[in-house]
Chains A and B, each alone.
Chain A
Amino acid sequence: MNTLQLVGAFALSFFAVVGRLTLFGVEALSHCLRPPFYLRSIGRQLIDIGYFSLPVVGLTAIFTGMVLALQSYVGFARFSAEGAIANVVVVSITRELGPVLAGLMVAGRIGAAMAAEIGTMRVTEQLDALTTLSTNPMKYLVAPRLIAGVIVLPLLVIVANIIGIFGGFIVAVYKLGFNPANYLQNTFEALHVDDIVSGLVKAAVFGFIISLMGCYHGYTSRGGAQGVGQATTSAVVSASILILCFDYVLTELFFAK
C-alpha cells in the first residue's frame, strides 16, 4: 500500500510538473508570436547567448573534432580504413556532436544564468514590479529569450561544425600525416545538406529547450537564495536531459527508415 502511495504521489507530481511546464511553454510561445516585440531585449539576448558562448562552444568543438580524428584513426587502422576518417568526422560533427555538445555547453552557461537572473527577479519582487509598470513579464523576459535561443543556437552550431571539422583536419594532417588536399576533398565530398540541416533543426529545438527550462525554473522559483540555487541546478539538469531525449527523437524522425 505504501509503495502504491509512493508511486501514485510520484506520478501525480510528475504530471503536475509536466502540466505546468506545458502551460508555461504555450503561454510563452503565444507571446513570441504576438506584438509588442521587445527588439532591444532580443538583441541583448542574442549577444548574451550567441556571442559570449562562442569561446566555450569553439573550444569544445575543436577538441571534439581532434579527438574524433585521433580515435577514428586508431579504430579504422585495424581495418585499413583510415581514408574514412574525414567522412566520420564530418558526419559525426554535423549530425550529432555539433548540435548536442553546443546545446549542452550553452545549457550549462546560459540556462543557469537565465534561471538565476529571473529567479532573483522573482524573489526580489522585480517581476511584480514589471506587472505594476504595465509590462507582462512573460512578454518582456521570457519571449525574447525563447526567440533568441531558437535563432542563435543554429548559428552557434554552424560555427561549431566549422571549428570541429577544422580540428579533425589539424590532427589528420599535422599528426597523422594525411595529405591536406586529399583530406579536404574527402571532407567536402562527405558534406551533405541533409546532415547539416538536421543538425541545425536540432540546434533550434535545443535552443528553445534551454531557454524554456531556464525561464521556467527561474520564473517559478521560491524561497530566496536557496530557491534560486535550486532553480539554476534544475534548469541545467532538465535542459541537458531533454536535449539528449530530443536528440534521439529528432534523429528517429530524420534518419529512421
Chain B
Amino acid sequence: MNAALPKISIRGLRKAFGRKVVLDGIDLDLGSGESVVVIGGSGSGKSVLLKCILGLMEPDAGSILIDGVETVGLRGEPRDEMGRKFGMLFQGAALFDSLPVWENVTFGLLAQHKIRRSDARGIAVAKLAQVGLGADVCDLVPSELSGGMQKRVALARAIAADPEIIFFDEPTTGLDPIMADVINSLIVKTTREVGASALSITHDMASARKIAHRIAMLYQGAIIWAGPVADVDASGDARVDQFIHGRAEGPIQMAVRA
C-alpha cells in the first residue's frame, strides 16, 4: 500500500436536507495510523459527515476516497467489502438488546464468517479483556450493563474485526469525567494496538485533546480550521477559540440562539 495515500480523502462533500445545507463543500484527509477529531457544536453536521463516509447516507455531491477508491455511489458487494475495513463506536453504544454481550462483540466476525460460532465466546472474552472487562459480563444482556460498560462493550465490538479505520461518534457523551477519561485512554490504546486510523466526532474538548493527532472544526457546514492538536489553542480563529473554551460570548453567538 502507498504510505502517502490517505486512508480517507474527502473533497467537496455536500449534503442538504431540503433547503438546509448541512455539509457545504467539506475537504478532509485522514492519514494511515492517524487520529483526526472533528469538533463542532450540536447540529453542525458532524454525524451527517460520519454517516456519509460509512455509506449510511448518500451525499448530494463530492468525493470520498477510501484507500484511493471512490465510495460515493458504491453499492452491493463492493460496498460490503469496503465496510469490512470499518469499525464504529456509536454515540449511544447501539448494542443489540436481544443478544448477550459475547454475541454483540463477535457479531461482525460471525456475519463475515471469519470465525465459527463455537469459537465466538472465547474470542469475545479476549476482546473484552482489551477494554478492561472480565469474562463475567459475557452472558449479560446490554440492559444489565452501566453506560460506561456499554461503551466498553461497544468499543470491543468496534475493534473485534481488527478494522483499518475506526469511527467514534461522541465517545464520551453521557459519561462521568472519570469514565470518559477511561474510554479516551481505551480508544488511544486500542487504536494503537490494532494499528488503525481513527476519525472521531465530539464536542468534548478533553476527549479531543487526548485522542487526536489533528483536530478539524466544523462550523456551518464547512471545515473552518484544521491543524495539529498542539496548535488548537493558537488557531487564530475566534470561532475555534470560543468553542474550545466553551464561552457563550463570541462570534458563534447567533448560532447558539437560533
Contact = CB atoms under 8 A, between A and B. Distances in A.
Given A128-B51, A128-B56, A133 B108 contact: yes
A5 interface: no
Contacts of B112: 134
B88 interface: yes
Given A131-B56, A132-B88, A134-B80, A126 B108 contact: no
A129 B88 contact: yes
A129 B97 CA distance: 12
A128 B90 contact: yes
Q: Chain A at the B interface: mostly helix, strand, loop or mixed? A: helix
A22 interface: no
Given A125-B92, A128-B51, A133 B107 contact: yes
Contacts of B157: 133
A125 B107 contact: no
Contacts of A133: 107-108, 111, 157
B243 interface: no
B172 to A, nearest CB: 17
B54 interface: yes
A124 B92 contact: yes
Contacts of A117: 98
Query: What band does the interface of chain B fall in when counting residues whose beta carbon is under 8 Å from A?
Result: 20 to 34
A30 interface: no
Interface string B49-70: 0010011100000000000000
A71 interface: no
Given A131-B56, A131-B83, A132-B88, A125 B94 contact: yes
Contact of B96 (A126, A131, A132, A134): A126
A36 to B, nearest CB: 9
Contact of B111 (A120, A121, A126, A134): A134
Contacts of B92: 124-125
Nearest to A133: B108
A56 B88 CA distance: 42
Contact of B94 (A124, A134, A135): A124
Given A132-B83, A132-B86, A125 B111 contact: no
Nearest to A38: B111
Interface in B146-195: 157
B130 interface: no
B239 interface: no
Interface in B58-117: 80, 83-84, 86-88, 90-92, 94-98, 107-108, 111-112
Nearest to A44: B98
A120 B94 CA distance: 10
Contacts of A129: 88, 90, 94-96
Interface string A107-127: 000000000010011001110
Nearest to A131: B56
A117 B98 CA distance: 10
Given A124-B92, A125-B91, 17 more contacts: A120-B97, A121-B97, A125-B90, A126-B94, A128-B54, A128-B56, A129-B88, A129-B94, A130-B96, A131-B54, A132-B56, A132-B88, A133-B107, A133-B157, A134-B80, A134-B108, A135-B111
Interface of B: 51, 54-56, 80, 83-84, 86-88, 90-92, 94-98, 107-108, 111-112, 157
11 contacts: A121-B96, A125-B94, A126-B96, A128-B90, A129-B96, A131-B54, A131-B83, A132-B83, A132-B87, A134-B84, A135-B111
A-B residue pairs, 10 tightest by C-beta: A133-B108, A129-B94, A125-B94, A132-B88, A135-B111, A125-B90, A134-B111, A126-B94, A134-B112, A133-B107
